Amino acid sequence: SESAGILYPRASESRDLRTLDGLWSFALTNNSVNGRAEKWYRVNFKAVDDLNVQSMPVPASYNDIGSDADLRDHVGLVWYQRNFFVPKSWNGQRVWIRFSSVCRAAQVWINGEWAVSHDIGHLPFQADISSLVNYGDENMITVSVDNTLLNTTIPQGALQELSSGRIKQTYNFDFFNYAGIDRPVVLYTTPTTYIDDITVATDVGGTSGFVNYTIAVEGSDTVTAKVSLVDKTGTEVATDTVLSGTLFVQNANLWWPYLMDPNPGYLYSLQVQLLDSSGSLVDKYSLPVGIRTITWDSKSVKINNKPIYLRGFGRHEDSDIRGKGLDLPLIVRDYNLIKWIGANSYRTSHYPYAEEIMDLADEVGIMIINESPALNTENYSDELLENHKRSLTELIQRDKNRPGVIIWSASNEPRTQLVEAEDYYREVVAHIKSLDTSRPVTVVNYQLPDEEYSGQFLDIASCNIYFGWYTNPGDLDTVVADVIAGAKRWNELHNIPVIVTEYGSDTLEGLHFLPVYIWSEEYQDALLSKHFEAFDQMREEGFLLGEMIWNFADFKTEQSFLRVGGNKKGLFTRNRQPKSSAYLMRKRYWALAQSL
């Protein structure tokens, strides 16, 4: 059974946890072998001589691990398999398998029996496999992964047959379509009666904080609760004994963004215990909680009643060899660079990021525009809309309790100039509002505000603008006026705050030109400086909510004559070393932080 809650797996007095990360057996299917028909999920891969089984790291995208283009550009199914041991002591509890993400469509079998399917990338899924595992014995897990993108999948794509007969995946977005088991896989246990979900909403009044919580329990309904809010020193600051209530915290440590307070990212721990009628512990789960408010109006967004200004970037989960695979050294390095440069925010362009990355945002005090994986929508259909809404349901279910998440982004660069986009985005925004009214909603647009249909539904306008790059490349003298005119119109038309969510220029590190010339480091610096002028003027006018350069770091794309080894608009290279623009941005972001 698939559960409704998707709490991050944590060990506790009542929960055991084992990782399934490591080296798995991996096999490609070509068009002539149909692994599903051959029931590969019943076969031990290593025992099949002609299967060409290789080792594949989990978590990682599989594309850049090998030495041939067949693996990198593979379209369709691949297969992963490994064995795992289940202790005898787990018998009688619920045993769960949880994937933090598989890109894109996954089917999972345990000991040859189907366990769970999930067909969207970048989002977690899990299943209770208690009845499928052998206790005190070895077990086999097999996972098929399909990377195919079609008109109705999230994101969209199409298959093209080349003159050679090879099937090629095409897509309209500007990052490599990495695939595989790209985030951690765990086995964990819960008691048969367990905490399925926790929802918190926080409020602030004077020096006090309020934590409204609701606990969803599965299994027996005779349990009672003990709920404690514990501060960083381990001291209990509030407690209650109901499944749904409000905790009151005197002199609360509020959750503040980075550089807005000497102690940003303050997290309490909400410790939830279920007790049986004799008072014995049934289940325990602890959730990090930040106490803060978000409010917004036609010109500003406030955290804890203080107006914010977003200094940030668009990003990608992307690095050498591992593609989109979660890599802890990389993500901690990224946060060190984010702090070094003085940013306070970023957008999870163009899909939900790993939970470990989101945890760091909450801890550091980084504000997140949290984006659906449904980017660049076109060819609107009911099926696409259903899949798009499901992506948002799963995203909000996963991230609803995170203090760092301050805005939902329904989509990046949808084709909102098409008349069908009006009903489509009316429904998408209403869907988000039906799940969460505590955060404002945006769509990230590149259309002209007068020629598109989504703006009317939004709390915040986000625009991607490439003056001096895609529009008038090299013509820096046009940038200031064009940027202001472009961004300001969103505010005039819809009376909502505006974020410039993308601007920038491809820049090859080490390329220099005087006078400045496109693709050089000097050009990126000059282009940024022009934008800073425009942003400062708009800040004076009061409707600009933030600036986010495209991109934090260089990243890989599909092969295209527009891209030299990928998209090079980063402040940092793909291996996270600064271009000269990183120093320029650092000056600006620290000065902005100090002036506000």
Give the residue numbers marked as catalytic.
413
**Rounded Cα–Cα distance for residues 210 and 216 (Å):** 20
What single-letter amino acid sits at 470?
Y
CA distances from 114 to 108, 133, 237, 273 (A): 6, 12, 46, 33
**Rounded Cα–Cα distance for residues 340 and 337 (Å):** 5
CA distances from 95 to 6, 84, 109, 502 (A): 14, 13, 14, 44
Size of the site for ligand GCB (CB under 6 A): 10
Q: Which two tokens stand for residue 89?
A: 């002591």
Closest C-alpha among 477, 461, 466, 445 to residue 567: 466
Site for ligand GCB in 347-376 (CB under 6 A): 350
**What is the smallest separation between the CB atom of 449 and ligand GCB, expressed in angstroms?**
16
**Rounded Cα–Cα distance for residues 311 and 301 (Å):** 14
452 sits near ligand GCB (criterion: CB under 6 A)? no
Q: DSSP code of 37?
A: T
Site for ligand GCB in 432-451 (CB under 6 A): 446
Q: Phi, psi (5° rounding) for residue 9? A: -70, 125
Return the H-helix or E-strand segment holding 356.
helix 355-364
- Pairing assessment for the beta strands 498-502 and 460-464 based on DSSP bridges: parallel
317 sits near ligand GCB (criterion: CB under 6 A)? no
**What is the smallest separation between the CB atom of 310 and ligand GCB, expressed in angstroms?**
17
**What is the smallest separation between the CB atom of 6 and ligand GCB, expressed in angstroms?**
27
**What is the smallest separation between the CB atom of 419 and ligand GCB, expressed in angstroms?**
22
174 sits near ligand GCB (criterion: CB under 6 A)? yes
Closer to ligand GCB at the Cβ: 309 or 446? 446
Site for ligand GCB in 323-352 (CB under 6 A): 350
Torsion sign, CA atoms 152, 155, 156, 162: negative
Site for ligand GCB in 182-241 (CB under 6 A): none
Closer to ligand GCB at the Cβ: 61 or 567? 567
Closer to ligand GCB at the Cβ: 25 or 412? 412
Beta carbons of 510 and 581 less than 8 angstroms apart: no
569 sits near ligand GCB (criterion: CB under 6 A)? yes
Return the H-helix or E-strand segment holding 57.
strand 54-58
What single-letter amino acid sits at 240?
D
> Which residue, judged by CB position, is nearest to ligand GCB in the bound state?
174
Closer to ligand GCB at the Cβ: 32 or 561? 561
424 sits near ligand GCB (criterion: CB under 6 A)? no
**What is the smallest separation between the CB atom of 117 and ligand GCB, expressed in angstroms?**
29
**Rounded Cα–Cα distance for residues 595 and 141 (Å):** 55
98 sits near ligand GCB (criterion: CB under 6 A)? no
567 sits near ligand GCB (criterion: CB under 6 A)? yes
Instruction: Identify the residue among 327, 459, 502, 547 touching ligand GCB (CB under 6 A).
Output: 502
Beta carbons of 548 and 531 less than 8 angstroms apart: no
**What is the smallest separation between the CB atom of 447 and ligand GCB, expressed in angstroms?**
11
Closer to ligand GCB at the Cβ: 249 or 465? 465
125 sits near ligand GCB (criterion: CB under 6 A)? no
Instruction: Identify the residue among 412, 416, 454, 462 touching ligand GCB (CB under 6 A).
Output: 412
CA distances from 400 to 86, 436, 565 (A): 32, 8, 37
**What is the smallest separation between the CB atom of 228 and ligand GCB, expressed in angstroms?**
44
- Applying CB under 6 A, the residues found at the interface with ligand GCB are 174, 350, 412-413, 446, 464, 502, 550, 567, 569
